[in-house]
Amino acid sequence: MSNTIQESNEHLAAVLRAKRHEYGWSLDKAALETGVSKAMLGQIERGESSPTVATLWKIATGFHSSLSSFLEPIPVATTSGVVYRSSGAIRSQPASEGMLVAPLFPYEPRFGFELFELTLLPGYERYSEAHEAGVTEHVIVLRGNMEVLVDGEWMKLAEGQAVRFSADRAHGYRNTSERPAVFHNLIHYAPPDVAPTSGAG
């Protein structure tokens, strides 16, 4: 296991333990709320598993949290407030699936969004379950061609094209071309005072 993967697993394990403690949830309760098995959650907490992005989304949604909070800590700003990020330095391939993930700007409550650089390898297709109410995604294609599933229909996007949609319904991404498709995904969350609170007990 590389140091990068080990560090990522350790961060994920620490965040998951902290979230369970914050909510006062047992592993059984966390499994019920996230839809991820107790065995898998236990493996993640012990740093023994590198879950897929789909699994991470289930966990994040169950805890009413952002996806990026489970991927890496908030970057440290300079004294002047500047934050510099390099996608090449932080890009990873969770669970060795067909998508590369670089959390350029992890979620911070004061901004209300997280920004990813995502790469879909040729032939990769991923369906995403509905996120919490109020979550909006903005997809901007940087290189290549891809398709986004919105309202039950696949929408083709080429380089330079973009789409915004409500992510509180099922959606998806796929790359049917022979070249990788690279895009930015800015995910905006509803303010905490209007976000749903059900299931947090």
Q: What is the pLDDT of residues 93-120, one digit of tens each?
A: 888 889 999 999 999 999 999 999 999 9
d(CA 182, CA 116): 10
- pLDDT of amino acid 2: 53
- pLDDT of amino acid 9: 85
What's the total number of domains in the chain?
2
- pLDDT of amino acid 197: 41
Would the pLDDT of 48 be above 50? yes
Same domain, 108 and 133: yes
CATH number, domain of 174, equals: 2.60.120.10
What's the chain's average pLDDT?
A: 91
Same domain, 178 and 117: yes
The per-residue DSSP string of the chain comes to --HHHHHHHHHHHHHHHHHHHHHT--HHHHHHHHS--HHHHHHHHTT-----HHHHHHHHHHTT--SGGGTSPPPPP-TTS-----HHHH-B-GGG-SEEEEEEE---TTT-EEEEEEEEPTT-EEEE----TT-EEEEEEEES-EEEEETTEEEEE-TT-EEEEE-SS-EEEE--SSS-EEEEEEEE---TTTS--TT--
Phi, psi torsion values for 189, nearest 5 degrees: -110, 150
Residue 32 lies in a domain: yes
Would the pLDDT of 194 be above 80? no
Average pLDDT over residues 191-199: 52
- pLDDT of amino acid 200: 36
- pLDDT of amino acid 3: 57
> What percentage of the chain reaches a pLDDT higher than 70?
93
Residue 195 lies in a domain: no
Same domain, 64 and 143: no
- pLDDT of amino acid 89: 92
Same domain, 52 and 115: no
Residue 57 lies in a domain: yes
Same domain, 98 and 161: yes
Determine which of 5-9, 34-38, 49-53, 161-165 has the lowest per-residue pLDDT on average. Answer: 5-9
Query: Is residue 140 very low, low, confident or very high in pLDDT (cuts 50, 70, 90)?
Result: very high
Same domain, 99 and 181: yes
- Domain carrying residue 104: 87-188
- 70, 100, 115 — which closes off a domain? 70
d(CA 58, CA 33): 9
- pLDDT of amino acid 96: 81
Average pLDDT over residues 80-104: 92
- pLDDT of amino acid 168: 93
Determine which of 5-9, 31-35, 39-43, 53-57 has the lowest per-residue pLDDT on average. Answer: 5-9
Average pLDDT over residues 30-42: 96
Same domain, 91 and 183: yes
- pLDDT of amino acid 201: 35
